[in-house]
């Protein structure tokens, strides 16, 4: 294993913000301080750059097995590393779905040499059908730490209540895709002025808000943990804030597009701006920003959901989803840090620390003896997103053509440089 010496870099985690040298050896941070002179296999001049713990994205679709024309484990992990990400929670809507130990083991085995810690999410119900709970003990034994039917809600409330109850027995986190399909009823974007202008069926926010409330009530009834996926509405954020104040064991996440963009972008009739939940209104954007700031929202994720160009060609018939692994840090720095909404400590908390904490994983930090899962970024670098240059197989980026400020340049996984754009 090679050694790395990083000279004169600004090191930032939740507790630290200092300029220092960092010596990495045998997969760990061996020394911190000014004037380190140890011989190293690789020396990096960190002047003007920032060192942070690596990102953990707890909401990613790898599309493997079954949909490898969109993405596969290897291309997704390459995209992750280019975004400063060394760990992902992989959603179960593959083909076959992750409702069995064999599929879980296939994904883990394929990812083992990538430099990215991939944790497959097990299904709540067999085949994500909403009926018949999976064998959670077997899924956990195969390596699952979380269960979800993400991509679909569990429509039957009693099945969801039982899943929450059994999750306590197996030590698994339950993550919910909050959507009422009867309310959605074929909608393809946020229901509002823009959907009416375009003459397309809208997705009423009541769908997300209703199931968000349901999940927290069910979790509270059995004293279980519940994680609410991709929060996009003012109403859901407000209910989660209230539930937390009442002691409900709820955590939640949002994605950069929900605190940056609105449904007016869909006036272009470009399906690359369609995802589920959809882009909402300026009022929702402001509410999500405030919820990030006040701690209601625990994590920033991507909901990385690749689709091939031909699949996204028809605005009304295209599948929902956008890629995001390579733009998440840049988008967050651009819209929240450089605007003064949050500081770098909070960025680290939202993207690096809290996802791992929620999942019960080891948390990297910049201290002697800590595992060297790190990223180096130029937080002031301006760059324009060119989807064709992304490492993902698919290029359906909601940030295409946008100028962002801040970019990961080096990703270190367990002491090894796995991505280097210096």
- C-alpha–C-alpha distance, residues 257 and 408, integer Å: 19
Residues pairing with 258 in the sheet: none
Question: Is residue 135 exposed (0-12), middle (13-18) or buried (19+ Cβ within 10 Å)?
Answer: middle
298 catalytic per annotation: no
Q: How many residues does the chain have?
A: 422
CA 60 to chain centre: 6
Q: Quick one: CA torsion of 100, 104, 105, 111, rounded to 10 degrees?
A: 170
The reply to whether omega before 96 is within 30° of 0 (cis) is yes
Q: In Å, how far are 34, 138, 179, 375 from 184, measured between CA atoms?
A: 58, 34, 8, 40
Query: In angstroms, how far is the first alpha carbon of the chain from the final one?
Result: 21
Ranges of H-type helices in 254-375: 282-294, 328-332, 344-348, 354-359
Exposure letters 60-94 (e unless 16+ CB within 10 A, then b):
bbbbbbebbebbbbbbbbbbbbbbbbbbbbbbbbb
Active-site residue, from 298, 303, 343, 378? 303
Kindly provide the residue ranges of all beta strands, DSSP E only, lying in 144-246, ordered along the sequence: 146-147, 173-176, 189-190, 202-203, 226-228
Which residues form the catalytic set?
Answer: 303
């Amino acid at each position: 294993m090679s050694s790395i010496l990083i000279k004169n870099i600004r090191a930032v985690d939740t507790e630290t913000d200092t300029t220092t040298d960092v010596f990495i050896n045998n997969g760990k941070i061996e020394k911190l301080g000014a004037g380190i002179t140890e011989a190293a296999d690789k020396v990096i001049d960190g002047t003007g750059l920032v060192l942070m713990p690596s990102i953990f994205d707890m909401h990613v679709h790898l599309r493997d097995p079954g949909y490898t024309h969109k993405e596969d484990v290897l291309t997704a992990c390459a995209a992750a590393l280019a975004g400063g990400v060394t760990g992902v929670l992989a959603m179960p809507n593959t083909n076959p779905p992750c409702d069995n130990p064999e599929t879980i083991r296939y994904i883990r085995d394929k990812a083992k040499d990538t430099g990215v810690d991939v944790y497959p999410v097990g299904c709540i119900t067999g085949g994500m059908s909403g009926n018949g709970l999976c064998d959670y003990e077997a899924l956990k034994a195969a390596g699952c730490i979380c269960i979800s039917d993400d991509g679909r809600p569990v429509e039957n409330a009693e099945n969801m209540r039982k899943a929450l109850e059994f999750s306590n027995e197996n030590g698994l986190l339950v993550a919910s895709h909050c959507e009422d399909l009867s309310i959605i009823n074929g909608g393809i974007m946020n229901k509002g002025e823009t959907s009416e202008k375009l003459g397309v069926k809208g997705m009423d926010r009541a769908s997300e808000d209703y199931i968000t409330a349901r999940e927290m009530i069910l979790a509270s009834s059995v004293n279980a943990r519940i994680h609410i996926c991709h929060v996009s509405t003012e109403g859901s954020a407000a209910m989660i804030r209230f539930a937390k104040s009442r002691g409900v064991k709820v955590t939640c996440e949002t994605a950069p597009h929900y605190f940056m963009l609105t449904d007016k972008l869909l006036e272009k009739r470009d399906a690359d701006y369609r995802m589920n939940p959809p882009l909402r209104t300026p009022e929702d954007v402001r509410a999500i920003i405030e919820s990030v700031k006040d701690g209601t929202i625990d994590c920033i994720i991507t909901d990385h959901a690749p689709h091939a160009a031909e699949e996204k060609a028809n605005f009304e018939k295209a599948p929902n989803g956008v890629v995001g692994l390579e733009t998440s840090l840049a988008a967050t720095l651009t819209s929240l840090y450089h605007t003064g909404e949050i500081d770098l400590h909070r960025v680290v908390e939202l993207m690096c620390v809290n996802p791992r904490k929620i999942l019960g994983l080891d948390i990297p930090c910049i201290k002697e003896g800590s595992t060297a899962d790190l990223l180096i970024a130029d937080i002031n670098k301006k760059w324009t997103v060119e989807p064709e240059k992304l490492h993902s197989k698919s290029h359906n980026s909601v940030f295409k053509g946008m100028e962002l400020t801040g970019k990961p340049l080096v990703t270190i996984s367990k002491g090894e440089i796995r991505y280097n754009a210096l």
